């Protein structure tokens, strides 16, 4: 099986990463009863002998016991706080200090500081750390990057790392989970950072999963409202019970679950496998249009036995419900160019076909790709759930999200406000215009798709069958 | 006398495993292993005479192959795969035909050919290759096409028979229509016969005939396996009048393939198995040969894939007589009406294939204008043609398995276009195919086979968009500014194509333009060109497949 290396950059990235590793461990602990180090565990973890420094990999053999697990991860932050917290927390054992790249001073919410200043100074260190992680894999399939778009380290250094990976490992797939700031964000320069980072994402990423803070917050609120504290412990959203948990841990757990479900099919057996490279082939119709809307369902399961469990079909309806999306958008209003349904657990191929037939009437597919479905079946459900669905789609409803980013950028840029903070850190003035142009290009791709869909009649009059 | 099985990709390996397992279950229980077992398995000295499949497993990821190996490992006294005939990489082809064909093809086809050669050397006489692959993904379709090409180059005299698993029409992968076009065009060039298994049909069979509420992938594979075993077990050519009078030797793989595909333009095959029923019904059901054969041939005539719910439309003079003996005399009372009704204008080739019976009962008299239209034959539509004159076919081969062969005779099957051939298994081969005393598999090369192809490539006769809607043409020009050879102009010059062209009647047919539509919008093309497949190459494949569709439609 193939391996993936997770790179978590900045405060947000590392916090999401912490949830991810916690849940990944829990998932493998559930399905790996005899404590052996198997192929599926090998995807995200190494089995090492800790008597050596740095720890040495143990060979992957049938029935080999787990000695000590190390995450295939690189932790990068320009402040020490979160990384140190991770290294001293319950997950300390799965990380080595060799896997971290830290500084003390932070990026000051400035993309240019992250990209130029820290990019230059830490290039060698990051490159070496990543190379060591890569050399420990026998077949590397993908990099998964976790970072935010609003801050300085995540967006600046994060996209710098992305560019570095594109340079050094061009054939390895790069998945980016980018957390977009909410509208009422406390970082005033976040529109600049987002647009500059978007430019990089468009050039160097294979797939981007935009996640909006606001959407995650809403999901958590809805779950709280619906469940009123009767949440099952193992739902996709954790319950508010733990004292130590921070408010964003619950939001991050949604992102972590999304990533786990996305990679589940390449980790566990199933009757219709979807490897991560199939996601790019199926969901990116044109170069540059690689931003995917994601939704996860079911998000919660009630512990209360008096409430009947949610039906299987409900899961498919929920996937296209705006309140289940990881970005604030309305999937039924946008136009889909492609859609992947990745199902885990006790679901059969006939269930998928039935539900596709059912939901497709409510969705607008682009006229030239009316049947753009990709289906996957993985036998292992997430921990504590009977079945789960991850829906990834290339939907033009992201148009709205990105035009919001653009208008907030223009508000600042028209006044040339805060610009000097960027130019003094070695950034060329042209980069703003280039970034804006590339965002405009993306928006025009979306409008093109929308226009095609409107102008073409249901039946093409110009094409005939022999 | 042996057949080398080549399993390619996830679906190919799953279906191939199911097929070999089914073959083993049916034939290996007898005291002396039958010819069919020797056809697909060899005895290995290494493990003390255990049986090893004459199979090569190829995949670009490891999970499926290790899963089927694990299953064989756990089943004692069964057969195994030869680990030396297994090749898998790790990264997967990512549903990309070009990745499978160019990237993996270049790297691994020499090894695969070498494994096939070694397996052939272990046979005393190689009858042919049986290749299992799907065409929706990247491995089965792309690497599969490369393997087929190589087999044709290396072993041009060995008959090769591809079994292709055709994806659901509502989409299994987003790029399936491209992958289908590309691999079908290759397979048509490189293979001697192509047997199609449509997932939609298989699922219908599971739902409606086997009465399964939830259909798993394993169920679909089991249906494929049973149908294949019925057709690929050793049989002997039998006389049409009495099945017990059969040729003294087993008919070879090549002979069956020659009979099924008599002309290089007609290589598509479809397999039907009757009866299909849940295992619990079998103890309470008895069949006679005549109704079974009648049902099979009626299905062929109507182009249907289920034993029920289709119009038993057949040439009128035979209709009343032949329908009486059938197992389900649903439409006997009104056969004449049905035939006329079937010819009405809005009956399409999809309707006979449609899983559910039509909404209005066939007993209703059709509206008079429809009758008139049907009589004059104004519709130049495959479907109506199928409904009117029966489903024209190039060949029809009946594989009869079961008891009481002497009572079996094939007369008056209602199709005039091809003489039926009957192959029967010897009565001491107690094959319990479909669990019944008797079972008939019908392998046919028929006009309706253009239907699945049309789903992806029917759109090829293109009128110039400028002629009809100027704004549309302008739109297409803006979308592909660098497009030098405009396909619509090219096709426009095909005068014959234009005269045959008729506007489509039904909106649901819009899906049939899929690959062409994607191509015209240049969607997903960058994924393919990244591995070296340009738009021009894709265009060539479109043309090749168009030829196939046209051949079948001219039947």
Does some domain include residue A127? Answer: yes
Q: For residue A298, is it within any domain? A: no
| Residues of chain B contacting residue A374, judged by C-beta atoms under 8 Å apart | 95, 171-174
Minimal Cβ distance to A371: which of B62, B170, B463:
B170
Does residue B256 contact residue B423 with C-beta atoms inside 8 Å?
Answer: yes
Give the gap in angstroms from C-alpha B157 to the nearest C-alpha of chain A. 34
- The residue-averaged pLDDT of A100-111 equals 90
Q: What is the CATH number of the domain that holds A35?
A: 3.40.50.1440
Q: Give the 3-state secondary structure of residue B335.
A: helix
pLDDT recorded at residue A460? 44
Average pLDDT score, chain A: 88
How far is B202 from chain A, CA to nearest CA, in Å? 11
Residue A433 lies in a domain: no
Q: What total number of domains does chain A contain?
A: 1
Report d(CA A327, CA A440) in Å as an integer.
20
Q: A94 in a domain, yes or no? A: yes
Residue B480, min C-alpha distance to chain A (Å): 12
Task: Determine the angle formed by the axes of helices B535-553 and B450-457, rounding to 10 degrees.
Answer: 150
Chain B residues whose beta carbon lies within 8 Å of the beta carbon of residue A348: 214-217
DSSP-derived secondary structure letter, A311: P
Q: Which of B287, B175, B132 is nearest to B517 (CA)?
A: B175
Instruction: Look up the ipTM and state it.
Output: 0.90
Q: Is the peptide bond before B316 cis (omega within 30 degrees of 0)?
A: no
Whether A154 is in a domain gets the answer yes
Neighbours of A169 (CB within 10 A): 17
Instruction: Judge whether A20 lies within some domain.
Output: yes
Rounded to the nearest angstrom, the minimum Cα separation between A348 and chain B is 5
Of the residues B523, B528, B531, B554, the best mutation for testing chain A's interface (the one with the most A CB atoms within 10 Å of its CB) is: B523
Question: Considering only alpha carbons, which residue of chain A is nearest residue B458?
Answer: A465
Chain A residue closest to B62 (CA)? A1
CB contact under 8 A, A466 and B546: yes
Select the residue of A357, A372, A461 nearest B468 (Cβ to Cβ).
Answer: A461
Residue of B278, B281, B315, B310 lying closest to B296 (CA atoms): B310
With a cut of 60, say whether residue A20 has pLDDT above it: yes
- Are the CB atoms for B415 and B300 separated by under 8 Å? yes
Tell me, yes or no, whether A449 lies in a domain: no
Query: Would you call the peptide bond into A193 cis, given omega within 30 degrees of 0 as the criterion?
Result: no
d(CA A393, CA A401): 15
Range of the domain at A17: 3-269
Flag whether pLDDT at A465 surpasses 90.
no
Which structural domains are found in chain B, ordered by start? 2-226 (3.40.50.1440), 253-446 (no CATH), 453-553 (no CATH)
Beta-carbon separation of A465 and B509 below 8 A: yes
A374–B174 C-beta distance less than 8 A: yes
Dump strand ranges (E) for B153-254: 160-166, 193-198, 236-238
**Going residue by residue through chain B (555 aa), what tens digit of pLDDT does each one get?**
899 999 999 999 999 999 999 888 887 666 556 788 889 999 888 777 788 999 999 999 888 999 999 888 888 778 999 999 999 998 889 999 999 999 999 999 999 999 999 999 999 899 999 999 999 889 999 999 999 999 999 999 999 999 999 998 888 899 888 898 899 889 999 999 999 999 999 999 999 899 998 999 999 999 999 999 989 988 888 888 888 888 888 888 889 999 999 888 899 999 999 888 888 887 788 888 888 888 888 888 888 888 887 766 544 333 333 333 332 333 322 333 333 333 333 333 333 333 333 333 333 333 333 333 333 333 333 444 444 456 788 888 999 888 777 787 877 665 556 788 889 887 665 556 656 678 889 999 888 887 777 655 434 433 333 333 333 334 444 333 333 333 333 233 333 333 333 333 333 333 346 777 788 788 899 999 999 998 888 888 888 887 888 788 787
Residue in A353, A272, A269, A273 with CA at minimum distance from that of residue A316: A353
Task: Report the gap between the CA of A112 and the closest CA in chain B (Å).
Answer: 32
Q: Tell me, yes or no, whether A380 lies in a domain.
A: no
């Amino acid at each position: 099986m193939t391996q993936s290396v997770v790179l978590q950059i900045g405060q947000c990235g590392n916090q999401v990463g912490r949830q991810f590793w916690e849940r990944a461990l829990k998932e493998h602990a559930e399905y790996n009863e005899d404590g052996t180090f198997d192929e599926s565990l090998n995807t995200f973890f190494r089995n090492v002998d800790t008597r050596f420094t740095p720890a040495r990999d143990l060979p992957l053999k049938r029935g080999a016991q787990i000695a000590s697990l190390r995450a295939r991860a690189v932790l990068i932050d320009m402040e020490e706080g979160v990384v140190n917290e991770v290294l001293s927390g319950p997950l300390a054992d799965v990380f080595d200090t060799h896997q971290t790249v830290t500084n003390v001073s932070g990026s000051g919410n400035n993309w240019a500081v992250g990209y130029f200043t820290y990019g230059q100074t830490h290039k060698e260190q990051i490159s070496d750390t990543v190379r060591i992680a890569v050399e420990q894999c026998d077949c590397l399939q993908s990099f998964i990057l976790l970072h935010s778009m609003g801050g300085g380290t995540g967006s600046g250094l994060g996209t710098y790392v992305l560019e570095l990976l594109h340079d050094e490992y061009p054939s390895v797939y790069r998945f980016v989970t980018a957390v977009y700031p909410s509208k009422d964000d406390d970082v005033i320069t976040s529109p600049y950072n987002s647009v500059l980072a978007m430019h990089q994402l468009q050039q160097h990423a294979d797939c981007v999963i935009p996640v909006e803070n606001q959407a995650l917050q809403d999901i958590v609120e809805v779950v709280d409202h619906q469940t009123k504290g009767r949440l099952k412990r193992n739902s996709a959203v954790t319950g508010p019970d733990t004292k130590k948990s921070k408010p964003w841990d619950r939001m991050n757990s949604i992102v972590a679950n999304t990533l786990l479900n996305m990679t589940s099919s390449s980790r566990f057996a199933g009757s219709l496998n979807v490897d991560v490279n199939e996601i790019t082939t199926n969901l990116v119709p044109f170069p540059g249009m690689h931003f995917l809307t994601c939704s996860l369902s079911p998000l919660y399961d009630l512990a209360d036995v008096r409430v009947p469990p949610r039906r299987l079909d409900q899961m498919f309806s929920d996937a296209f419900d705006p309140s289940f999306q990881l970005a604030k958008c309305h999937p039924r209003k946008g136009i889909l160019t492609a859609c992947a349904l990745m199902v885990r657990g006790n679901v059969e191929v006939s269930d998928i076909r039935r539900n596709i037939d059912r939901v497709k009437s409510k969705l607008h597919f682009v006229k030239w790709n009316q049947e753009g479905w990709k289906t996957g079946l993985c036998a292992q459900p997430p921990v504590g759930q009977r079945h789960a669905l991850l829906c990834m789609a290339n939907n033009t409803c992201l148009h709205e999200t990105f035009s919001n980013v653009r208008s907030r950028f223009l508000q600042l840029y028209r006044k040339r406000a805060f610009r000097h903070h960027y130019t003094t850190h070695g950034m060329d003035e042209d980069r703003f215009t280039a970034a804006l142009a590339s965002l405009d290009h993306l928006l025009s791709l979306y409008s093109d798709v929308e226009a095609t869909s409107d102008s073409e009649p249901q039946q093409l009059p110009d094409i005939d069958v022999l | 006398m042996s057949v080398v099985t080549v399993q390619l990709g996830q679906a190919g390996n799953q279906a191939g495993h199911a097929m070999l397992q089914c073959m083993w279950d049916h034939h290996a229980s007898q005291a002396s292993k039958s010819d069919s077992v020797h056809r697909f398995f060899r005895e290995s000295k290494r493990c003390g005479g255990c049986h090893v499949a004459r199979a090569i497993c190829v995949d670009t990821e490891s999970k499926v192959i290790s899963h089927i190996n694990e299953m064989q490992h756990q089943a004692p006294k069964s057969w195994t795969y030869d680990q030396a005939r297994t090749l898998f990489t790790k990264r997967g082809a990512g549903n990309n035909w070009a990745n499978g064909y160019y990237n993996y093809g270049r790297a691994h086809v020499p090894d695969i050919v070498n494994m096939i050669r070694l397996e052939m050397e272990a046979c005393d006489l190689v009858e042919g290759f049986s290749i299992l692959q799907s065409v929706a993904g990247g491995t089965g379709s792309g690497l599969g096409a490369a393997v087929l090409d190589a087999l044709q180059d290396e072993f041009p005299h060995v008959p090769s028979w591809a079994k292709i698993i055709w994806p659901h029409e509502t989409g299994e992968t987003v790029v399936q229509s491209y992958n289908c076009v590309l691999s079908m065009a290759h397979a048509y060039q490189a293979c001697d016969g192509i047997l199609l298994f449509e997932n939609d049909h298989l699922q219908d069979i599971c739902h409606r005939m086997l009465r399964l509420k939830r259909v798993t992938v394993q169920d679909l594979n089991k249906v494929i396996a049973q149908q294949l075993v019925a057709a690929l077990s050793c049989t002997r050519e039998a006389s049409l009048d009495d099945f017990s009078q059969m040729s003294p030797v087993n008919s070879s793989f090549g002979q069956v393939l020659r009979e099924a595909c008599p002309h290089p333009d007609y290589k598509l095959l479809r397999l039907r198995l009757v009866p299909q029923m849940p295992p619990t019904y079998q103890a309470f059901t008895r069949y006679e040969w005549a109704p079974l054969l009648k049902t099979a041939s009626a299905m062929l005539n109507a182009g249907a894939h289920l034993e029920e719910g289709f119009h038993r439309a057949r040439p009128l003079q035979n209709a009343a007589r032949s329908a009486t003996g059938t197992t389900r005399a649903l439409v006997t009372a009104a056969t004449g009406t049905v035939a006329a009704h079937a010819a009405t204008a809005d009956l399409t080739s999809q309707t006979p294939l449609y899983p559910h019976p039509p909404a209005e009962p066939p007993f209703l008299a059709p509206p008079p204008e429809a009758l008139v239209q049907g009589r004059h034959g104004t519709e130049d539509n495959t479907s109506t043609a199928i409904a009117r004159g029966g489903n024209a076919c190039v060949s029809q081969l009946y594989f009869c398995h079961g008891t009481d062969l002497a009572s079996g005779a094939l007369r008056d099957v209602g199709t005039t276009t091809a003489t039926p051939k009957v192959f029967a298994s010897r009565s001491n081969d107690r094959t319990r195919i479909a669990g019944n005393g008797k079972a008939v598999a019908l392998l046919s090369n028929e006009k309706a086979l253009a239907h699945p192809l049309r789903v992806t490539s029917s759109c090829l006769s293109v009128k110039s968009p400028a002629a009809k809607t100027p704004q549309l043409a302008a739109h297409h020009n803006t979308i592909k500014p660098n497009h030098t050879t405009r396909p619509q102009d090219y096709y426009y010059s095909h005068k014959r194509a234009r005269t045959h062209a008729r506007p489509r009647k039904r909106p649901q047919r819009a899906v049939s333009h899929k690959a062409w539509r994607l191509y015209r919008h240049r969607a997903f093309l960058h994924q393919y060109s990244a591995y070296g497949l340009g738009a021009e190459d894709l265009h060539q494949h479109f043309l090749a497949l168009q030829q196939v569709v046209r051949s079948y439609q001219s039947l």
